Structure 1
Amino acid sequence: MTSAAPATGNARGRASRARLLDAAAECFGERGYAATRIADITAAAGMSPASFYRHFPDKDAILLEALEGPLGLLLEATGPLTEGSSVDPEAIVARNTEFFRVYARHRDVFRVLRELAAGHEPGLDAVWLDVRRGYVDRIERWLRRLQDQGALQTSDVAILADALGGVLDQLAYTRLALRPTPPTDEEIEALGRVSAEIWSRTLGG
């Protein structure tokens, strides 16, 4: 995968770049990565191909930048839980609901990334695994604190962290990324609560 060209410094250049990124996210979500052409992105943005190449060297680069913000927000959404050292069911509900809320806002690009990663697209499988490793590591650190306090019994903390993260991954992909219409707030809250029930019962909370 190649990296994006440096951002244009003036306000007009930044606005153009943002339009291209928004258009790319829309096109990737609607058409899939392989079927999206640079011409599709520029048409959706109302810009010329020459404008595209002033900002990005290729389609890979704009995909990576379109993912950068959403992936950062997804990782940030996992933060609050790991600051504590107890099994508080309501805290888990809040933390998991925020994860699903962020995922829902960017579900189209997350679906594209997940499917490209599953297909072992060079570079993109590593992008997905890196961000997933980030939040699974946070879960693991929290679980180790619980274990150190005698509040958790498990034969393998790392696998348990991966499994709890997998509950979020799979629900987000199947219930948010693959659905044809945006979820309602009630549906997102239900995902947060049910996933928290699974976590709490697994951990004995």
Structure 2
Amino acid sequence: VKALKENKKDFGYIPLRVTTQYSLLEGAMKIDELVKKAVKLNIPALGVTDRNNLFGALEFSEYLSNSGIQPIIGCNFSVYHQDQLGTVICYAKNESGYKNLIKISSEIFLNNNNETIDLRRILELNENLICLSGGCDGLINNLLKKDKKKEANELASLLGKTFENRFYIELQRLGIDNYEEDLLNISYDFEIPSVAT
């Protein structure tokens, strides 16, 4: 927060979905390279969301903090809900939330051969976590892709009620699919704020 207040330039956008070399086949940049780029671009905060793991969280936090950039620690979890696969993004609000991220990540690797976790477990461990709907690969998007709007609405409602004011509909403009209008309708209908990533 201190870095955000001291930064005179209004960057206007905080990258919340950075992946590092710890996201195998997804992230290509090493943490020190990410930090150098963030410093060069005068980015006041950066969110890491490696796939199912927190292997780089400590290194990420130390590099960013030492550079005057606010680290935001999160994880991109591969989840299933009923018969649907997808992702949700969770960020730690504080140390207690970080411990919940560790529990979820550990359970994925220790208890599941397919590297997914039941969404119900994340709902159980939601305390001090902030949740994003998962963007283009998210559970809600994947339901919309199958024209299951009712199920997408029900899931958004469940996540909104469970996380209360800590759940956000994630909007991404990657040119992959065109569900932004549906996502915005869910956001308005259920009074769930949206965030661009």
Common topology (TM > 0.5): no
Structure with higher RCO (Cα < 8 A, 6+ apart): 1
* TM-score between both structures, scaled by the size of structure 1: 0.27
Larger radius of gyration between Structure 1 and Structure 2: 1
TM-score, normalised by the number of residues in structure 2: 0.28
